[in-house]
Amino acid sequence: MQNARSLALYTLALAITLFAETGCKENTILNANVAPAIDNINAVDTSLEVSCHTIFFDSLVTSNSFSGISIIHGLGTVTDPYFGKTNAGIYFQVVPPSTNFGFPTNIDRIDSAVLILPYSGYTWGDTALNIKQKFTAYRVTEDMSKDSSYYAFSTKAYDKNNPLGSVNVTIDNLSDSVYVGRTYNDSISGKYPHLRIPLSKTAFIDQIQSKSGSDELSGPTQFIDYFKGFYLEADPRSNGAAIPYFYLDGSTDYTRAGVIFYYHLTDDTATYTVSFPYTSTNCAHFNHITRSYRGSMAEGKIGTNISDPVLLQNLPGCEIDVIISGIQKIPAYSLVNKAQLVVTRTSTASEDIYAPPYRLYPIGIDSTGATYTIADGYPITSTAPLAFIDGTIKESDANISQTHYLLNMPREIQAAMKAGKDTVHLHLTGTTDFPGAFRLVAEGNNGGNNRMRFNVVYTKLKQN
């Protein structure tokens, strides 16, 4: 079940990436806005019953590495007045720059080592508060493998008693300067904006230098056996208001995560650098994300039968369980021209600060509880199905007075009719490009004119 869900969400992330490059092609499948004139004789406009409630899902794989999709992880803490507290930390590994690596034999001293995280340019939450957050780097003491799947709830043991370094950061400054957290005077102007955590001389630098030319630095596997990785923790006691997102992968220093050593050679005034980078070929990674709804307005609405309002976050977190029923009331010999789920946002405190997802995505749930890609999601190798399903956020219009989402799925309803099914079961989730971000409070079953609804237009076909 989890593999199918991960595949569906990976496909969504891939399609979003491709959209930026190729643009929208929804008319290559079917224009959802084109339907025959409604005369209630041949073409009929009707609605199906919708029931919904909020569920919690934390089994999101955050360790995937796919060609063409950047690895983006969040690091920070948000205290949202409606959804409670979210905390995000990052596990990742680095490797030496070459096999049989050794620092130069005429090295005079290693001045410093700095852990680098390139800033993605996006922060979710309230940056205007300028609340400082403390980020701490620890040494992982338990094996990690790039070939294993790790989830948002996964953890690995780390040396809590001996932190490798920490920095206090005002999140709003990340996009303004590369000098965040700098504790020494070097010239790094013009480099990609990034977070810098100075690492301890005794707990890290001296230990790595002592292995110069040894078996531990003879190759990526040997080094990872010796130094299993970093855990970057956002202080869980913080009442932070924002989570910035960082790249792990990249092609050059300062555009990829890693450790940069600064050193001097004997009788040489120049400063030299060498990088131990993250590489997707050799290194494991995952985003550890926790949610606490205790005392929040969301707390009593999750995992219950409460159908109004319903809640959604980028996973891990809340998603909306939806059952569409009454499909068999559509005459058997009919062509479904339009089938559209309408989800309307309801106003809440701080909604302008804690943004809603820009797209919702439907995942099918079969009779065994396993996930599947709905019929309108094929072919999964193309961006056209995602454009057709749509699910993007829309402002109020003549028909809907609040911000809303429209999800098109006529093929899924047609397939259900063919299979003799009276219901379609869906989970609605956000995207996975910024795990842990975004939140939506939506009208459920009792939202009056703005309630969640499912509209269908079908054409009755002539029987031979």
- The tens digit of pLDDT for each residue in 251-260 reads 888 899 999 9
**What pLDDT, on a 0 to 100 scale, did the predictor assign at position 51?**
96
* Burial label, 264 (beta-carbon count in 10 A; 0-12, 13-18, 19+): middle
Looking at the structure, do residues 77 and 56 belong to the same domain, yes or no?
no
Residue where a domain terminates, one of 249, 283, 317: 283
Looking at the structure, do residues 85 and 232 belong to the same domain, yes or no?
yes
Closest CA relative to residue 170, chosen from 119, 230, 115: 119
**What pLDDT, on a 0 to 100 scale, did the predictor assign at position 336?**
96
Radius of gyration, alpha carbons of the chain = 25
Looking at the structure, do residues 321 and 363 belong to the same domain, yes or no?
yes
What are the structure tokens assigned to 380, written together? 């999964």
Looking at the structure, do residues 196 and 336 belong to the same domain, yes or no?
no
Residue 294 covered by a domain? no
**Sign of the dihedral through C-alpha 38, 39, 44, 50:** positive
**Sign of the dihedral through C-alpha 10, 93, 145, 74:** negative
* Euclidean distance between CA atoms 430 and 240, whole angstroms: 23
**What pLDDT, on a 0 to 100 scale, did the predictor assign at position 8?**
55
Looking at the structure, do residues 455 and 428 belong to the same domain, yes or no?
yes
CA distances from 340 to 99, 204, 453 (A): 56, 56, 8
Residue 295 covered by a domain? no
**What pLDDT, on a 0 to 100 scale, did the predictor assign at position 183?**
35
Residue 253 covered by a domain? yes
Residue 290 covered by a domain? no
Residue 456 covered by a domain? yes
Looking at the structure, do residues 399 and 269 belong to the same domain, yes or no?
no
Looking at the structure, do residues 337 and 408 belong to the same domain, yes or no?
yes
Task: Name the domain count of the chain.
Answer: 2
**What pLDDT, on a 0 to 100 scale, did the predictor assign at position 18?**
42
* Euclidean distance between CA atoms 75 and 62, whole angstroms: 13
Closest CA relative to residue 46, chosen from 325, 339, 390, 388: 339
263 in Cβ contact with 114 (< 8 Å) = no
What are the structure tokens assigned to 168, written together? 């206090």
* Euclidean distance between CA atoms 83 and 298, whole angstroms: 5
Closest CA relative to residue 280, chosen from 118, 71, 114, 89: 71
Range of the domain at 125: 72-283
Looking at the structure, do residues 224 and 356 belong to the same domain, yes or no?
no
**What pLDDT, on a 0 to 100 scale, did the predictor assign at position 464?**
61
Closest CA relative to residue 436, chosen from 122, 94, 133: 122
282 in Cβ contact with 141 (< 8 Å) = no
Distance in angstroms between the alpha carbons of the first and the last residue of the chain: 42
Residue 65 covered by a domain? no
318 in Cβ contact with 443 (< 8 Å) = no
Q: Look up the pTM and report it.
A: 0.87
SS3 22: helix
Residue 351 covered by a domain? yes
Residue where a domain terminates, one of 216, 248, 283: 283
Looking at the structure, do residues 42 and 107 belong to the same domain, yes or no?
no
Residue where a domain terminates, one of 258, 283, 308: 283
Looking at the structure, do residues 238 and 105 belong to the same domain, yes or no?
yes
Query: Which residues partner with 137 through β-bridges?
Result: 165, 232
Looking at the structure, do residues 123 and 187 belong to the same domain, yes or no?
yes
Task: Name the pairing type of β-strands 404-408 and 334-344.
Answer: antiparallel
What are the structure tokens assigned to 83, written together? 């959804």
Residues of the chain with pLDDT under 50: 1, 16-30, 176-188
**E strands of 219-360, at which residues?**
230-234, 241-247, 258-265, 272-277, 285-292, 310-313, 317-325, 334-344
Looking at the structure, do residues 225 and 306 belong to the same domain, yes or no?
no
Residue 291 covered by a domain? no
